[in-house]
Amino acid sequence: MFPTDVESVSDANLNVYRIRGHRPLVGRIRAQAAKNAVAKQLVASLLTREPCRLYDVPDITEIDVVLDMLAEIGAACDRLEDGSVDIATPRIASTTVGERYSGFNRIPILLVAPLLHRAGTARVPVVGGCNIGERPIDFHIDLLRKMGAEIDEDDEGYTARADRLRGTVIALPYPSVGATENAIFAACLARGTTVINNAAVEPEIVDTVLFLQKMGALIQIDTDRKIVIEGVDRLSGARHDPVRDRIEVASFAMAAVATGGRLRIEGADQTAMITFLNTLRKIGGGFEVDPGAITFFRDRDPLDPIHIETDVHPGFMTDWQQPMVTLLTQAHGVSVVHETVYEQRFGYTSTLNDMGANITLTNDCLGGKDCRFTDRNFPHSAIVQGATPLTGREIEIPDLRAGFAYLLAALIADGESTIFGTRFIERGYVNVPERLASVGADIDVPAQLLARDRPVAVPG
């Protein structure tokens, strides 16, 4: 049904993009639905036996892998011609998530609670995702145990058992997106009330809460990062149009500003992007907000430098950081970026330096925000000295968001860049070469350069 599984994801998608820079991007782009909402909503559908429909599900490998994983558990998934996905799991066929999904993404650990609710047991492999730090799942395991799950850990994964999960008070040590979602999934059908303190309140989480509310869940998002869930006995099917992808919108917005172009991004939502829009305005990017769309362009030349600290919502997203650093290489003066969400999210900058950027990393916290990486010897602050012309070259992508940072670098570089490892981009962004070409980028996917014999880093 879905042609893509983990093996074929790491096997196929070995495309190479060739980009010749200095073309302003002008035109319209339609924002895709947020992968980080859709993936979780597909998981949420397991909480009912009844059919659910998600509209406009992005055709990206990350979602294909999730659908494949859910199909093994017993979900019947159907991608319709209009892009919707119908999904129904009338019975759980298997409570084991295959080890081949280990290391690919964060979804297996989110399957524990739905499987416990539906079948009383779950076996999931160790999880992975983009290689941007240690990414432990201790919060997930602790909260599931606190809600009554017995969990055994071994080198390959986790085995969980529970008769019925019970509501409790959870205090997350950090507002983790995944742990908050895990607690919500566990709490919806638990006995009693669950309070999640220090919860993440990202727009994608709120959107999943909206979907769950349609399914019959009782979830209250209170002030001060507190989410209160009253467990119900059953949930029903629902239809949902997922929130648009604010990471993708920001990525294309930065491409418009960086290339001196003008892009109207349909579906872009101002409320989800307040911090990004303020930041863009401060450095000289312009935007106009219309009903249902935001148009982005360069307002000042040269761009101004800035000090940014990444944070949980409503702060500056860690996933906006990488293309922003590329953009800041074109600002006149010294910019400082303090990454407080992940400890290893600047690895990609060495390639930007090879292209001509002047970026220095330091272990110091260059900013005043609370940071878990103080005195822990992680290079988690970057000093960007601009403006520096960039020169096209061969580039190997290390992870999804770094991938877009490199695309952006190639779009503004002198000469030609050949970008390998584009499967990371295809994991999260729909049809990037086609969409960039449609707004004027000089980009092609040369068949003769298919990177069959280049070294392939396994996702995660």
Q: Which residues are catalytic?
A: 130
Is residue 219 within 8 Å of residue 212, measured between CB atoms? yes
Q: Which of 27, 93, 94, 136 binds ligand EPU (CB under 6 A)?
A: 136
Q: Which of 176, 194, 349, 422 binds ligand EPU (CB under 6 A)?
A: 176
Q: Which of 126, 177, 209, 419 binds ligand EPU (CB under 6 A)?
A: 177
Name the 3-class secondary structure at 153: strand
Angle 79-85-91 (CA atoms, 0-180°, nearest 5)?
100
Burial of 301 (0-12, 13-18, 19+ CB in 10 A): exposed
If binding is defined by CB under 6 A, does position 106 make contact with ligand EPU? yes
Q: Looking at beta carbons only, is 179 or 277 nearer to ligand EPU?
A: 179
Q: Which stretch binds ligand EPU (CB under 6 A): 66-74, 129-137, 251-259, 269-277?
A: 129-137
DSSP state of 301: S
The minimum distance between CB 298 and ligand EPU, in angstroms, equals 26
Instruction: For residues 295 and 268, give the distance between their C-alpha atoms in angstroms, rounded to a whole number.
Output: 9
If binding is defined by CB under 6 A, does position 400 make contact with ligand EPU? yes
Q: Looking at beta carbons only, is 24 or 129 nearer to ligand EPU?
A: 129
Q: Which stretch binds ligand EPU (CB under 6 A): 74-82, 137-145, 190-198, 287-295?
A: 137-145
Orientation angle between helical segments 112-119 and 138-146, nearest 10 degrees: 30
Residues in 294-353 at the binding interface with ligand EPU, rule: CB under 6 A: 318-319, 341-342
Task: Tell me the backbone φ, ψ of residue 403, rounded to 5 degrees.
Answer: -60, -45
Q: Which of 35, 64, 40 is nearest to 52 (CA)?
A: 40
Q: Which stretch binds ligand EPU (CB under 6 A): 25-33, 127-135, 218-226, 348-356?
A: 127-135
If binding is defined by CB under 6 A, does position 178 make contact with ligand EPU? yes
In the sheet where 157-161 sits, what is the strand order? 121-125, 157-161, 150-153
What does 170-190 look like in DSSP terms, one character per residue?
EE-SS--HHHHHHHHHHHHTS
If binding is defined by CB under 6 A, does position 401 make contact with ligand EPU? yes
If binding is defined by CB under 6 A, does position 130 make contact with ligand EPU? yes
The minimum distance between CB 215 and ligand EPU, in angstroms, equals 20
Q: Which stretch binds ligand EPU (CB under 6 A): 19-27, 170-178, 261-269, 294-302?
A: 170-178
The minimum distance between CB 410 and ligand EPU, in angstroms, equals 19
What does 349-379 look like in DSSP terms, one character per residue?
HHHHHHTT-EEEEESS--SSS--TTTTS---
Instruction: For residues 272 and 267, give the distance between their C-alpha atoms in angstroms, rounded to a whole number.
Output: 11
Is residue 310 within 8 Å of residue 321, measured between CB atoms? yes
The minimum distance between CB 189 and ligand EPU, in angstroms, equals 21
Q: Which stretch binds ligand EPU (CB under 6 A): 82-90, 133-141, 237-245, 385-393?
A: 133-141
Q: Which of 21, 24, 58, 133 binds ligand EPU (CB under 6 A)?
A: 133
Count of other CB atoms within 10 angstroms of residue 71: 17
Q: Looking at beta carbons only, is 89 or 208 nearer to ligand EPU?
A: 208
β 333-338/307-309 pair status: parallel
| Positions that interact with ligand EPU (CB under 6 A) | 36, 39, 106, 129-130, 133-140, 174, 176-179, 200, 318-319, 341-342, 400-401, 428
